[in-house]
Structure 1
Amino acid sequence: MSDRSIASRPSLEQVLAIVDFMEKHPALALGQLRGLEGRDESKKLWFQLTRIVNNITGPIRPMKSWIKYWADKKSTVRSKVQSVGGDPNSLCSNVEKKIWDLFLANDVSKSRNVKQESHFIDETVLNEDSIDEANMEPEPVLDFEVEPVADPEERQIAIMDKLVKAMSSQASALAQLGHASLVSSQAMERLADASHLQARALDRLASTFESIGAATHQVGTALLDIDATVKRCYATSPT
């Protein structure tokens, strides 16, 4: 199974991307896209959001899972506030505070329970297989820009995540550099061996030429001796 499994928890970047997208499409966030046209628009928007979120570091999920995650997230925030008498200041996370302020504080349907909201979602856009992806215009999936996180803990998590990624990239680069250095060292060693063999071959060739030169000198000396002997023979012969 992939590390980015469906069962794993969404990353902070993914959650912030979802909230930012919903802020731009409040009707989708509140489940207000109804009717035939509304359902088609809802499917297209959920398809776009799924592509965006799955392109960010974190688990890769099907559209069904992200729809359920959003419904559960709103229900969780609503339950937390209701459990303390409706005081949103009890929320510890800036993300949850933003969800409350943007989508739940003025939501007239906030008294509905989780089953009712999930049931409505099931009837509208939960069947992702009915989407004709071929007829949808492709959109470039870029890193989703989100607002800075004010909460120190969330900011620290985001910074640590980026630091881990940077260190992982650095370690990979150092490993590649080490491998390249090893290959270069081996190549230099082979070149040194080849140079040594070449030097020995040249030395043997020089010795051979030296031997040939000495033999040639001896032949020349012998020829001179023969010539001198012949001349003496002719000089002492009777006329």
Structure 2
Amino acid sequence: MTDRCIASRPSVDQVLAIVDFMEKHPALALGQLRGLEGRDESKKLWFQLTRTVNNITGPIRPMKSWIKYWADKKSTVRSKVMSVGGDPNSLCSNVEKKIWDLFLSSDVTKPRNSVKQESHYIEETNFNEDSMDETNVESDPVLTFEEPIADVHERHIVIMEKLLTVMSSQATALAQLGQASAVSSQAMERLAEASHIQARAIDRLATTFESIGAATHQVSNAMVDIDATVKRCYATSPT
């Protein structure tokens, strides 16, 4: 699924979310939801967990993949402890210690077979986790809902969530564009106002120069008149 490859390892936050969810739903974690009502409840919880984990930074996986991951994780923790004689102190990870303390320490004495994939969807297997990694096989029939339906439903959920995210981003971008346009419009209005003020100042300056020119012309005429008068005075003087 795009950049978040299904084959990549879950992030620490995703693993913590799974363990926290299982701590709140121990019956799901221990495979104790049996019978018709139990399987329906199990399905709802796995859908809820899948949606939660896929919304956390890390790979996006279908529900059956997270079911298998949980079964494999418990099997890995159990194998590590049993390989050192049942000493849980050999576990280096706090998450693995928590898984051991919450879900595995009470049944350490029970014999185990190789762990099968913990999924309602894998053909010819039962959903109950105990029936996959213990000798006591559950007699209830396999759940009837099919993998393609579940996968399509999960993909639709993921697509809708991504679509909502994209739409939210687009709305934010449009709001920012509108804000930038408003700022640009205000700047253009201020520039137009400044241009108008400048035009008025130039007009006043032109009027002033015209007034100065007219006054200069009048002074020139007056000087000519004075000169003519003086000349006449000298012309009429007695010899």
Report the TM range for the smaller structure's normalisation: 0.5 to 0.7
Q: Deviations over 1:85-118 (max 9, x none)?
A: 2222211111111111111122376613212756
Given the alignment of the two structures, is residue 121 of structure 1 paired with residue 127 of structure 2, yes or no? yes
Specify the alignment match of 1:32 in structure 2.
32
User: Kindly tell me: are residues 30 and 94 of structure 1, through their superposed partners in 2, closer, same or farther at Cα, counting changes over 3 Å?
Assistant: same
Query: Conserved in 2, the CA contact under 8 Å of 1:4 and 1:59?
Result: yes
**CA offset at residue 82 of structure 1?**
1.9
Runs of 4+ in 1 over 6 A off after TM superposition: 197-203, 225-229
Alignment of 1:161-200 (within 5 A): none
For residues 44 and 219 of structure 1, what CA distance do their matches in structure 2 show?
A: 102
The CA distance in 1 between the partners of 2:81 and 2:146, in whole Å, is 27
Q: CA deviation at 1:44?
A: 0.5
Percent identity, aligned pairs only, is 64
Distance 1:18 1:112, change over 3 A: same
Q: How far apart, in 2, do the equivalents of 1:206 and 1:127 lie? A: 85
Give the TM-score normalised by the residue count of structure 1. 0.57
- In the TM superposition, residue 55 of structure 1 has moved relative to its aligned partner by 2.1
Label 1:73 to 1:98 Cα distance change in 2 as closer, same or farther (>3 A): same
Tell me what 2:16 maps to. Answer: 16
Amino acid at match of 1:129: I
Q: Based on CA coordinates, which of the two structures has the bigger radius of gyration?
A: 2
SS in 1 for 2:126: helix
What RMSD, in angstroms, separates the aligned Cα atoms of the two structures?
Answer: 4.2
Partner of 2:133: none
1:2-151, aligned counterparts within 5 Å? 2-107=2-107, 111-115=112-116, 119-121=125-127, 123-124=142-143, 127=147, 129-130=149-150
- Unpaired runs of 5+ in structure 1? 134-179, 234-239
Of the structure 1 ranges 67-76 and 103-112, higher mean CA displacement relative to structure 2 is found in 103-112
Shift of the 131–5 alpha-carbon distance from structure 1 to 2, 3 Å rule, reads closer
Distance 1:75 1:120, change over 3 A: farther
Distance 1:71 1:84 in 2: 21
Q: CA deviation at 1:60?
A: 2.0
Structure 2 unaligned spans of 5+: 120-124, 129-141, 154-179, 233-239
Does the 8 Å CA contact 1:104/1:110 hold for their aligned counterparts? no
Alignment check: 8 A CA contact 1:10 1:59 kept: yes
Task: Give the number of the structure with larger relative contact order, counting CA–CA contacts within 8 Å between residues 6 or more apart.
Answer: 1
Q: TM-score, normalised by structure 2?
A: 0.57
1:28-67 residue CA offsets vs partner (Å, 9 max, x unmatched):
1111212211110000001111122122222222211111
Q: Which stretch of the first structure deviates more once superposed, 111-120 or 31-40? A: 111-120
